[in-house]
Amino acid sequence: MAIKLFKCIPGKKPHYKLYYFDARNLAEPIRQILAYAKVEFEDVRVTPEEWPELKPKLPYGQMPVLEIDGKQLGESSAIARFLADKYKLSGRNEWEKAKVGELAEILKNFRSELTPWLYSKVGFTDADKADERFESVAKPVTKKYFDIFSQFLRTHQGGFYIGNKETYVDLAIADYIFTINKNAPELLAEHQDLLQHVERVQNLPQLKKYIEDLIVILWVFVTVFYVLKQGTNDGKLTDADNERILYRERHPWQ
């Protein structure tokens, strides 16, 4: 179980531990909220081998889970809302908060509808159906939701989805579109506005260093893993090791 401790400014703070697999996916917007707010937290990366033992100890037997001074909060959307409210990333007034919540639900629906293709694409399930689902799922679903996101940007004209200041939904949508673009950039050919928004979010002063470090970590993962393995198990890789390496080689952005 890998744990990375993110440092923050001094002072009495809640003790946060975020549990998730060694992947971005549902946990990444949560990590980015914490990084944006300069909040110290333990980033607990659970391996497939550790998961069966940990699962019954977590709410609903699933991750991500945020542990706050020993108390556990489940469901990625609930965690994101909790942290966004606490660190002033959920809108500046009641109307903005309502619209942020609306857009967060739209993103949740988008992820749900696109998952069959994306999971096939990255090899989680039904890899042999990736091409078929690209045509039947990815193209129509992304067109539907990219048009919605573009409309939000045009309506608010402040560079962000709600008003002229970033909220947690900007972080979440930018991260998901970043993933889609790395897996199938052709889907965003007609939506340069969304890619510009991704760049704007990733260059926020509060996030820039975190994003740069994340990209470096993703690309060096395979090389470092090979080097470390030379001193263990007689330098031999197990089947589980090979699966992790193959996945990271093909999909470093997941």
Residue spans of the domains in the chain: they are 2-86, 94-202, 208-250
Report the DSSP beta bridge partners of residue 66. 18, 73
Q: Domain 94-202 belongs to what topology?
A: Glutathione S-transferase Yfyf (Class Pi); Chain A, domain 2 (1.20.1050)
CA dist., res. 139 & res. 76, Å (int): 26
Which residue do the tokens 């919605």 mark? 148
Band of the pLDDT at 228, cuts 50, 70, 90?
very low
pLDDT at position 23 is 86
Kindly state the percentage of the chain with pLDDT values over 70: 80
pLDDT at position 163 is 85
148: pLDDT strictly greater than 80 = yes
CA distances, 225 to each of 5, 143, 240 (Å) = 20, 38, 12
Choose the weakest-confidence range: 12-26, 97-111, 167-181, 217-231: 217-231
| Higher local confidence (pLDDT), 113 or 158 | 113
Across 19-38, average pLDDT: 94
Q: In which region does residue 152 sit, left (phi positive, over 0), alpha (psi from -120 to 50) or beta (all else)?
A: alpha
Kindly report the pTM of this predicted structure: 0.81
Which residue do the tokens 């260059």 mark? 203
Band of the pLDDT at 200, cuts 50, 70, 90?
very high
Q: Which helix (H) or strand (E) holds 146?
A: helix 139-156
Strands 65-68 and 71-74: antiparallel
Report the DSSP beta bridge partners of residue 67. 17, 72
Band of the pLDDT at 127, cuts 50, 70, 90?
confident
Q: Same CATH fold, 94-202 and 2-86?
A: no
99: pLDDT strictly greater than 90 = yes
Q: Domain 2-86 belongs to what topology?
A: Glutaredoxin (3.40.30)
Mean of all residue pLDDT scores within the chain: 84
Q: Which two tokens stand for residue 22?
A: 């060694």
Give the model confidence (pLDDT) of 31-68 as tens digits: 999 999 999 999 999 998 999 999 999 989 999 999 99
CA dist., res. 222 & res. 246, Å (int): 9
Strands 16-21 and 2-6: unpaired
pLDDT at position 14 is 78
- Asked if residues 127 and 120 have their Cβ atoms less than 8 Å apart, the reply is yes
pLDDT at position 122 is 83
pLDDT at position 249 is 42
- DSSP label at residue 48: T
